[in-house]
Structure 1
C-alpha cells in the first residue's frame, strides 16, 4: 500500500504568557505499512504510539514549538528511537520544555522522504518565528499541505502572543502558501481542513480584520 495520511485528535492544554487554555490538536501521520513520520506530537503519546504501531518511525516533524504541539515528544521518544525536526528559530520555545534534547534543524526548501514521497519544508514565520508547513504535492488527489498553526479554515493563525506578528504571517501565507495550486488540501493544526483556493479568496478580509 502506498503513502497515506492518518489523523488523530488529541486533547490537552496550551500555555504561554502566563495563561493556559484547553485545546484539541490535530496529529497527522504520513507513511505506509513499513514506515511513517508524525507531524506534531501533541498531548497523547499513547495514542500516537498506537497509531504508529510496529512501523519504523522516521521522525517527528514539528510545525512549531508551542507546548501543545510538542508536549508528547518526550514520551514518544522514550518509547521509540527517532529524530525530532524543528526550525531553529523556535529554539527558545523548545528549550523551555526540552533543554537537554536539541532537535535536528529544519530549513526552508528542505525535503523529507517517507514512503516513496517527499515533504517540502516551507518556512512560514508569523505564528512563531520558526513556524513551518510541510507540502507534499504527490500526496492525495490534489496535493496536501500540513499547515500547523499558520493557516486555518477561515484565516491565519493567531498572532496575539509572544514571538508572533500579524504582518509577518500574512506575508508568509501570501508568498509561500497562496502560490500553491488552488485545489491543494490544507490539513491544519487545529479544527477542520480547507483548501488553498478557499482561503485565497479571503485575503483582503484577513488584512482588513487584522489580528
Structure 2
C-alpha cells in the first residue's frame, strides 16, 4: 500500500432522500450512483439504498444513499430512515407546487428530530421540463423562487437538478458531502472543547470534610481519663 493511501482519513455518511411520490428521488439516486435513467419505473416501496465511494480533500468518503417511499401511507416510516442521517435531500417537482408543500413538512420533522446535526438540501428536480430560456437563467418560475426563499429561511441549501439530462446532480452530492465534512469537523471540535472543560473543572472529590469539634461531655471525659492516669 502506498504512503499516500495510508494518510487518507475515512468518513461514512448517511444521506436520505425525502419527498412526494414521483418527484424523481429514485432517478436522482440511480443517475448519481450508476449513471442510469429510466423513463418509467415502479414507485419505491418503503426504502432502498445504494453506496457511492470517492476521495475528497484527502478523505476517503463512503455515502450510503437511502431512497424512501413518497406515498402518504409510508410517511410514518420516515423517522426509521432519517433519524441517524447526516444529510437529507428534500426533493420536489419544479412543476408541482404541492410537492414543495410536502418538502416543508419533511423539513419540520427533520429539524424536530435531528436539529442542526443534519445538513439539508432542498432540490428542485425535473428542470428539463423548463423552457430553454428558464433553463438558461433559472428565472420566471414561481415554484423555484418560493423554494429558494424557503430554503434560506430554514438554513437549508437549494439546488436545481434534472435526472433525465443529468444536470446539477454531481455538484449537488459533492457540495452536500463538503458540508457534511465541515459539520462533522465542527461537532468534533465542540466535543473536544467540552472534554477539556470537564477535565479542568475543580475536582469535588478531593475536598476534605473536617471532623466536628468535641462536645463538652466528650472533652470532660477525656480530662477525667487523663487525671486517672
Answer whether TM exceeds 0.5 for this pair: no
- Between structure 1 and structure 2, the one with the greater Rg is 2
More helix by share: 2
More strand by share: 1
TM-score by length of 2: 0.30
TM-score by length of 1: 0.31
Kindly indicate whether structure 1 or structure 2 has the higher relative contact order, using CA contacts under 8 Å at least 6 residues apart: 2
